[in-house]
Amino acid sequence: MLAMGSEEWELYPSSFIGAQVIDYGHVSGDMDDDQSGDLAVSMDAVLPDDLLEKVLSFLPVASVIRSGSVCKRWHEIVHARRQTWSKMVPQKPWYFMFTCSEEAVSGFTYDPSLRKWYGFDFPCIEKTTWSISSSSGLVCLMDSEDRSRIIVCNPITKDWKRLVDAPGGKSADYSALAISVTRTSHQYMVAVARCNQVPSEYYQWEFTIHLYESEINTWVSPFTELLIGWRGGDECVICDGVLYYLVYSTGVLVNNNEHRHCLLMYDLSTRPTHTSLMSMAIPVPCPLTCGRLMNLNERLVLVGGIGKQDRPGIIKGIGIWELRNKEWHEVARMPHKFFQGFGEFDDVFASCGADDLIYIQSYGSPALLTFELNQKLWKWSLKSPVTKRFPLQLFTGFSFEPRLDIAS
């Protein structure tokens, strides 16, 4: 394990609201006549607030947070002027890694811009089994034991809000969560896709969409469909005004060419009520395991383990695809050297992303791999401070955009 004083990672207090403020008072006293004309003038003292704000806005978020502890003036600028940070240089998404356990959730966050790990206590998460989705600085959380309990928070400012209870009750056979934030207005929409088996009907599943809009603080349930031979899962995302949802075949495969997964699409602007989403479903490009949907700058991206032809549940590699005009186009496949770099790679893994950055992590290892979509560049993160303490220990994580200007 890396030492606390290591240059590779460091701790900063996750709650910067209560950061210590150092008040630098004026220095008084007699001075030699020879030095009376050599007064030192602080650049900070002559910069007006708007210019100081401009300078700070070019710093990474972690540096801005630390700057709030310099003096009272800087503290006020960092904490009291949320609008200032709306013009910050765009930040790459961070990755929060933690272990799967019954204990309180705490872990480390990776900052790809500075290539550093930070100790981080994530607000609101009580169990590692909670469903999580993020968008433009906000993270949405759904309680795994009470599916009507949903929280939205900004993990950087620690601002959070519990939404009014979602419809559909506390439990569901399968539930998926997605959030989409409008960058200009900071209003957001939360989608919960539920799927329940029809009693005594193994092949029939009731699929329902519930939507929450922050502007009106209300849930609506605009769509329900009976799926036959298909069931829902726990994976959905909102991208460019459309809710995408992965569904899975419940039948025994007739041949190897039969599709085991499909993608449903629901237009959130028109919100059709009397249509069959299953009739317009798009098959995934190949047999997949651990399929994950991502919104990368309003481009729908799918990451999944590529199953062997004769044994679809066993993966031989990891692929990345983009949906364009309702057709999948392969973007990249993980090079074998990176695939081997995870060590004993199980058939399950975590992946997520935002902006143009994708994170991939094996559940059985704290190793973290990144893929930059635009540059087609694979890269390992710096070694994680998280260590594996016993053979069956599991790890997971998710990404979020660090922002100071948005509230729940």
Last residue of a domain, one of 26, 54, 84: 84
User: Do the bridges between strand 282-283 and strand 288-295 make them parallel or antiparallel, or are there none, so unpaired?
Assistant: unpaired
Whether 129 and 144 have beta carbons less than 8 Å apart is answered as yes
Whether 127 and 206 share a structural domain: yes
User: Do the bridges between strand 131-135 and strand 327-333 make them parallel or antiparallel, or are there none, so unpaired?
Assistant: unpaired
Whether 280 and 199 share a structural domain: yes
Last residue of a domain, one of 27, 61, 84: 84
How many domains are contained in the chain? 2
Residue range 356-381: average pLDDT?
Answer: 92
157 compared with 393, residue with greater pLDDT: 157
Residue 122, pLDDT > 70, answer yes
Whether 319 and 299 share a structural domain: yes
Least confident of 27-36, 166-175, 303-312: 27-36
- What percent of the chain shows pLDDT beyond 90? 49
Q: For residues 264 and 195, what is the distance between their CA atoms, to the nearest angstrom?
A: 13
Whether 58 and 164 share a structural domain: no
Least confident of 51-60, 81-90, 190-199, 302-311: 81-90
**112 lies in a domain?**
yes
Whether 72 and 126 share a structural domain: no
Least confident of 11-25, 171-185, 306-320: 11-25
- What percent of the chain shows pLDDT beyond 70? 81
Whether 330 and 380 share a structural domain: yes
Whether 131 and 149 share a structural domain: yes
| pLDDT tens by residue, 268-290 | 999 998 899 999 999 999 888 88
CATH number of 61's domain: 1.20.1280
What is the span of the domain harbouring residue 183?
92-398
**29 lies in a domain?**
no
**61 lies in a domain?**
yes
Whether 210 and 136 share a structural domain: yes
Residue range 110-123: average pLDDT?
Answer: 88
| Residues 6+ positions from 1 with CB-CB distance below 8 Å | 385, 387
CATH number of 233's domain: 2.120.10.80
Whether 79 and 141 share a structural domain: no
401 compared with 311, residue with greater pLDDT: 401
Helices within 206-252 (DSSP H only): none
| pLDDT tens by residue, 239-253 | 999 999 999 998 754
pTM of the model: 0.85
Least confident of 39-43, 179-183, 217-221: 39-43
Last residue of a domain, one of 84, 106, 139: 84
| Residues 6+ positions from 14 with CB-CB distance below 8 Å | 118, 119, 120, 121, 122, 155, 158
Whether 68 and 182 share a structural domain: no
Residue 37, pLDDT > 70, answer no
